[in-house]
Amino acid sequence: MPTLSPELLHESSLLADGQVELFSGDLSSSLSWTENLKENSICFCFNESGEALIMGEGDTRLYLRPQSLSLFTIGTQLPPIATRIGAGQHKFVLITIPRDNLSTFFGSDLADLHPQFQKFIDRKTTVGFGVVRPMWSEEKRLMDWFRNPPVPDAARSLWYQSKIGELLAIHLFASDHEPFSVRQNRRSNQFSDRALTYLRKNYEEPLDLNALATLCGCSGPYLSRSVKRETGKTLQQHLRSIRIDAAARMLDGGANVTEAAFAVGYSSLSHFSKAFEVEKGILPSDYVRSDFICAPD
């Protein structure tokens, strides 16, 4: 019988907090996952692979494609019908925030919330609400971070709480009555996705803006503006982050500083050390000697 195995990554502990679960499995046929959706809650689903259908109260009908992000509410009147569709690999991160927590947290101060969420949190409607769209570049990175938070174990609970609060602040308070921050230009987002995907796969190469823009199908200045506007970081900053993350993994695996620097594309140890300190807050030589690297069991 097909199954999906949930892994609890974080349990709700504060009012503006939620539960984070990772689901992963290879299905041989379609499977209901209704039991994993808790009533009286707001949910975010980062759907990495596999397709799904959610039919909830009212007119809520969501079709989740691979690499999509959905936001939906679960009420109390009728349980949703939720199905993972078809055979293959299904992997997704589900974040569940109880309505009671948000109701207590916001109290009567709901004026700036999107009207749909005002009614839901204030219990003035029993009708479900949901939206789905392709994930943006930073959301794909966040999905990876939910599985492997970029902080020490002792800081993970605080990190999860901050990211859940950030999601609520961005999406529940959307301006101009537009839910789920769907205002960004999807075409420019596609160019950014292509560029960042290329950098992740070819980070050891020098950044050639014009060549990268040609590969993505736009001009260099347009690509630079799009990435900066959508992610808040420049292409060079993204490349630095990707390189330093790769270098840290190499250091964790036993490589020395020089090996890691040259392997990820730096020809100068001083430039590598400065970049490493910017990204990690510590020099690579100190990183090697510190508790950042865990000794093998």
C-alpha to C-alpha distance for 258 and 113, rounded to whole angstroms? 51
- How many Å separate Cα 5 from the centre of its chain? 20
Q: Once rounded to an integer, what is the mean pLDDT over residues 248-269?
A: 93
- How many Å separate Cα 161 from the centre of its chain? 14
Query: CATH class for domain 186-289?
Result: mainly alpha
Beta bridge partners of 89: 26
Is the CB of residue 223 less than 8 Å from the CB of residue 212?
Answer: yes
Give pTM, 2 decimals: 0.59
Query: What own/partner pairs with CB < 8 Å and gap ≥ 24 does 212-218 have?
Result: 216/191, 217/191, 218/191
| pLDDT tier for residue 63 given thresholds of 50, 70 and 90 | confident
Is it the case that residue 259 has pLDDT exceeding 90?
yes
Is it the case that residue 212 has pLDDT exceeding 60?
yes
SS3 state at 53? strand
Is it the case that residue 184 has pLDDT exceeding 60?
no
Those residues whose C-beta lies under 8 Å from the C-beta of residue 140, and which sit 6 or more positions away, are: 67, 193
> What residue spans define the domains of the chain?
5-181, 186-289
pLDDT of residue 54: 87
Is it the case that residue 242 has pLDDT exceeding 70?
yes
pLDDT of residue 3: 66
How does the average pLDDT of the chain come out, rounded?
Answer: 83
27: part of which helix (H) or strand (E)? strand 19-27
Domain covering 5-181, topology? Jelly Rolls (2.60.120)
Q: Once rounded to an integer, what is the mean pLDDT over residues 43-51?
A: 93
User: What is each CA distance from 191 to 33, 188, 194, 220, in whole angstroms?
Assistant: 34, 5, 5, 11
| pLDDT tier for residue 185 given thresholds of 50, 70 and 90 | very low
Q: Once rounded to an integer, what is the mean pLDDT over residues 66-78?
A: 83
Tokens of 191: 């160019």
pLDDT of residue 45: 95
Neighbouring C-beta atoms of residue 67, cutoff 10 Å? 15
C-alpha to C-alpha distance for 277 and 249, rounded to whole angstroms? 15
SS3 state at 283? coil
* Tens digits of residue pLDDT in 161-183: 999 988 888 888 755 544 555 44
Is it the case that residue 246 has pLDDT exceeding 70?
yes
Domains 5-181 and 186-289 belong to one CATH topology: no
* Tens digits of residue pLDDT in 113-124: 877 788 888 777
Query: DSSP assignment of 58-103, as one string?
Result: TT-EEEE-TTEEEEEEE-SSS--EEEEESSEEEEEEEEEEEHHHHH
Higher local confidence (pLDDT), 109 or 163: 163
* Tens digits of residue pLDDT in 117-156: 888 887 776 666 788 888 887 888 899 999 999 999 999 9
Residue type, 14: L
